[in-house]
Amino acid sequence: MSIIANILTNMSAEDKAKLGKSGVKVNSDGEHKLTIKEAYEIASEGGTHPRFVLKMEDVEGKTIDWTGFLKQKVGKDDKGVVKSGEYSVNGVKTYLDTEGAEYDNVRVIGQLNNLWKVVGLDANQFGAGIKPATVTFPEKGQVAVESWTALIGKQFTGVSSYVVSADAKDANKCWRTQELNMDALFNVNRLSNAEVEAGKTEPVAIIEAVKKAKAAASIKYNDRTNRACIQELKIIQSGGTIPATESATTFGAAAGIPVKPF
């Protein structure tokens, strides 16, 4: 039997739709019309590091992910003093004065609340439709999650910026990826929540958001002194173009676009 025919027989319809695309990850900054494919809460073993995961696709089937951590820990300021004060702990305002004490990341919850409204869901029903589910990982197998079913399949317009990171094995090689700005969310008609509430029909805020996104290209924190990353960031900032191909297989879940410095 033909090798190709056998592959196509076993391939899902979703993967077939991606054949012939120039990569599997969103590889350009600016605005993207996105469809939510997965939306769930997950925690590490022992219930630590709870986070919210969004997996989305653009109109070409290219993917972009976002993870928001649902808890934070009290830290110290630049003088070494614990940042004591009132924090939200499981929704209750609580005074914390101990370094490492855990509290709610209300910023991330607020971003998700805005997303809920942007995709056209009832603000008064925020969080409705959460159901137990599982997600399969290559190494860990099936992991229990809380799936936000109401978000799945919904569309919105997102804005992303370049993030440059060093290759784990080759310090002279770097990658371009996209980081979604969850503080700049727009509906399918490119309108912000504020514009919708004001009865606006012509998108204005997204124009400024895209300008800021294109100017916000950055280097991953741990790689900020890497020479190749610094050089690649300069290329992006000067309007350099993205290579047309990726040196990673379609099913290799490439982290982005690998580029070598001159």
Average pLDDT on 183-203 reads 96
In a domain, 6, yes or no: no
In a domain, 5, yes or no: no
* Per-residue pLDDT at 260 exceeds 80: no
In a domain, 96, yes or no: yes
Average pLDDT on 170-192 reads 95
- Rounded to whole angstroms, the Cα distance separating 40 from 58 reads 19
In a domain, 136, yes or no: yes
* Per-residue pLDDT at 49 exceeds 60: yes
In this prediction, residue 249 has a pLDDT band, given cuts at 50, 70 and 90, of very low
Q: How many domains does the chain have?
A: 1
Dihedral of the CA atoms 130, 132, 136, 142 (nearest 10)?
Answer: 160
Rg of the chain over Cα atoms, rounded to whole angstroms, equals 21
Rounded percentage of the chain residues whose pLDDT exceeds 90:
74
Quote the pTM value. Answer: 0.82
The residue type found at 129 is G
pLDDT, residue 22, reads 57
User: What range does the domain containing 38 cover?
Assistant: 21-78+88-259
In this prediction, residue 240 has a pLDDT band, given cuts at 50, 70 and 90, of low
- Work out the mean pLDDT of the chain and round it to a whole number: 89
Which of 178, 146, 148 lies closest to 162 in space, CA to CA?
178
Q: Could you say which DSSP state residue 186 is in?
A: B
Q: Cβ distance 241 to 235 under 8 Å?
A: no
In a domain, 83, yes or no: no
In a domain, 1, yes or no: no
In a domain, 7, yes or no: no
Is 4 or 211 the better-scoring residue by pLDDT? 211
In a domain, 10, yes or no: no
